Amino acid sequence: MTDMGRTEAELKETRLYKKLEAALGTERLLVNERMDRHTTFRIGGPADFFISPDTEERLAEAIRCLKENNAPYFVIGNGSNLLVSDAGYRGTVICLFKSMDGVSVQGNTVRAGAGALLSRVAAEALSASLTGFEFASGIPGTLGGAVVMNAGAYGGEMKDVLTDIRAVAADGTILTLPAEKLELSYRNSAVIRGGLIVTEAGLALRTGDRDAIQARMDELKEARVSKQPLEFPSAGSAFKRPEGHFAGKLIMDAGLAGYHVGDAEVSTKHCGFVINRGHATAAQTRQLIRDVIERVRENSGVTLEPEVKFLGEFE
């Protein structure tokens, strides 16, 4: 053992590796894969195993393998909203981005795989002159993650358009569930509470004017570019919106614009964003988030809750 976990050779000798290899093949199974390659923060040490199943059946078989071996796992899309420890993750990362990402349009319904980027789904809706998904066109994430967290922006949210999902349960069962069973709320859902892995979703949109749809998407893009620090790696909004407040304003009012720990910094462009100015570590970023929470509580009495998920061990 090393500080970063077992060697590649040691991991390949484990029973779990052999089971996953049989279920997925070697091309969809990586060992000691650095997570800074798979997160929008561009931060993170190696995961013991990194798998990218391309079908529900392979995903379900992988879940059964992991359960039989009592092995921890974590599901990601394109790695937005995630901070992985510098020491990595002693478990299996399941990545659906670029593997389960098909998009199809039939009438006013769009069906897409969980690994499809929201920007791509929005582009396909635009091509079909379908309106109702413009709000998601600039959210830096995948459809699966958006469903799980009921992602929303600029007056729209997933529960406004979602019709149903397909998912793999914790026991490897493949399910189809209508949207009304998902109990979607602000950054929460029955998907999270039930430990489901979304594989596909259906969206009900409306016929619209293509030029008007494009104009709205351009308007939202300009708003993001002008107000958010998109030139730096980040995890998007670092904190959930506290009831009755805006996290960014609370952080700015606490005098934290530009506050940094190493290369982890509170953006001066939008204080709700924590950015990586180049070589930020997970430890620095985690400390900065703690500092922001403490300073905002001292200044306003409001306790911010991170929207960023933490994976691996942190001090």
CB 100 within 8 A of CB 165: no
Which is the catalytic residue, given 28, 237, 267, 286? 237
Per the annotation, the verdict on 187 as an active-site residue is: yes
- Written as one string, the DSSP assignment of 62-90 is HHHHHHHTT--EEEESS-TTEEE-TT-EE
285's tokens: 């970023």
- Written as one string, the DSSP assignment of 203-264 is EE-EE--HHHHHHHHHHHHHHHHHHS-TTS-EEEE-B---TTS-HHHHHHHTT-TT-EETTE
Determine the residue type at 210.
R
Instruction: Find where tokens 């066109």 sit.
Output: 137
Strand order in the sheet with 73-76: 29-34, 46-51, 89-95, 73-76
Per the annotation, the verdict on 52 as an active-site residue is: no
Which is the catalytic residue, given 6, 187, 210, 241? 187
Per the annotation, the verdict on 237 as an active-site residue is: yes
Rounded Cα–Cα distance for residues 188 and 194 (Å): 11
Rounded Cα–Cα distance for residues 96 and 102 (Å): 11
Catalytic residues: 187, 237, 307
